[in-house]
Structure 1
Amino acid sequence: MRRLTTLPAGLLALAGLLVSTGCGTTPTAVPAAAPPPVSTVVESDEFNATDVMFLQMSVPHHKAGLEIVRLAEDRAVRAEVKTLAAAIEVTQLSEVDSMTKWLADWEQPEKAGDDPQLHAGHGGDHSTSPEAIAELAATGSGEFEKAFLNLLIAHQHNAVAIAKLEKEGGINPQAKDLAARIFDSRTAQIAQLLGYLD
């Protein structure tokens, strides 16, 4: 059987460039970690409706997240905020590639549909609206960083909620492994982002 590997070392090193050393302190760079161990997750084609919904919700959610973090590229934000945004972009691009591949392999559509009632049974669709992203894009330079941090915190909180649904109800091992990694990484990012607001 094929085995999945965890994120490549380069992605982990980029995602781990900044670590908040406490509330209100200046984040410091950490050295690149050794290559991650091979995951023990064995690929499976078995999936249920929760696995499919997790991916169908996560793909557009990730794409909205990419729109958000890319706004920080050319705006007046602290270097550490810009670095974290770049790390999030790299990670989420990789995750979108995996998720769209799994949906294709399972012969499932990438999108569940536009009916808002589709997500009523699991707390809504947890998306960040195009209007909220457009409002952030239009924010003046003096207020941009604070608005960016607040929107990204809310967005990553929704990613945690989506991942929790998969952790509790999914059966596909690679999807559940991704959900666990999303849950942990976004929870850590939220703590880091909150530190930047202090």
Structure 2
Amino acid sequence: MLATALLAGCGAPDLAGEAASPAPAVPASVSPATPGTALTPEATPSPEATATPGSALSATPDETGAAEPSTENNAADVAFARQMIPHHLQALEMARLAQTRAGDPWVGEFAAKVATARDTDIRTLKDWLDMWGAEPLPRDHAMPGTQTRAEIEALAKLRGPSFDRKYVTLMIEHDNGAIKLARAEQAGGAFGGAKALAVATATSLGAEVKELKKYRALLD
């Protein structure tokens, strides 16, 4: 196969190198609060453990309670959760197509990691919407980076190298759209958990885009 030969000659993207493999965007220590339960300082990641340069994660509250993340939500938080669920569901749909249609094992493995990460985030976001009395947007609601139903159906008809190229191209667009939604939450959200998830989403999906672009360069 084209992808296999290219990978043999050039090497697949270094999954342990500069771009991390798809990982759940929700930090383990920022699990959603159950309905009626406020986030506690213990649920906030410590800066030593998770903060990176430019991170929007708050510092761990000190004894005076400074920098405690907000447990209040606003319209931006609700919009973020309502949009990200159908956005991630489309990524899951494309990942499942890759399980039976990808020609290169790398594409199938990448898609499997995407599916695991998105499923984790969807559960978190749904818990928040339940707590706020809101529902996700419809599955095919147009958002930054999402594909039309016709594009998904066209992808489903492909196999092997042609599927791999199209899947990678669509996922780059899809991830960049999700990053835009995450940055909007970082700028306008109030709920500490959602803002932390937005930071993690932008970081992890940015790493995915780097991996996908590196792989696509091998196909050109």
Preserved CA contact (<8 Å) 1:52 1:108: yes
One of 170, 184, 189 as aligned partner of 1:170:
189
Q: 1:86 to 1:43 in 2, by over 3 A?
A: farther
- In terms of fraction of residues, the more strand-rich structure is 1
The TM-score, its normalising length taken from structure 1, stands at: 0.73
Q: Which has the larger radius of gyration?
A: 2
Q: How does 1:1-198 map to 2 (within 5 A)?
A: 25-28=11-14, 30=16, 38=29, 39-40=45-46, 45-111=71-137, 125-126=143-144, 127-198=146-217
Preserved CA contact (<8 Å) 1:72 1:82: yes
Q: 1:46 to 1:185 in 2, by over 3 A?
A: same
Q: Deviations over 1:125-179 (max 9, x none)?
A: 2232222111111124341110010011111111111101101110101001111
Preserved CA contact (<8 Å) 1:61 1:159: yes
Secondary structure at 2:101 match in 1? coil
Secondary structure at 2:214 match in 1? helix
- Separation in 1, partners of 2:138, 2:109: 33
Deviates more, 1:78-87 or 1:177-186: 78-87
Letter in 2 for 1:125: M
Secondary structure at 1:82 match in 2? helix
The TM-score, its normalising length taken from structure 2, stands at: 0.66
Secondary structure at 1:71 match in 2? helix
Deviates more, 1:127-136 or 1:39-48: 39-48
- Separation in 2, partners of 1:63, 1:77: 23
Higher relative contact order (CA 8 A, sep 6+): 2
Percent identity, please.
Answer: 28
- Separation in 2, partners of 1:156, 1:182: 9
- Separation in 1, partners of 2:159, 2:92: 20
Q: 1:101 to 1:44 in 2, by over 3 A?
A: farther
* Structure 2 unaligned regions, length at least 5: 1-9, 17-26, 30-44, 47-57, 59-67
Deviates more, 1:138-147 or 1:182-191: 138-147
Preserved CA contact (<8 Å) 1:45 1:106: no
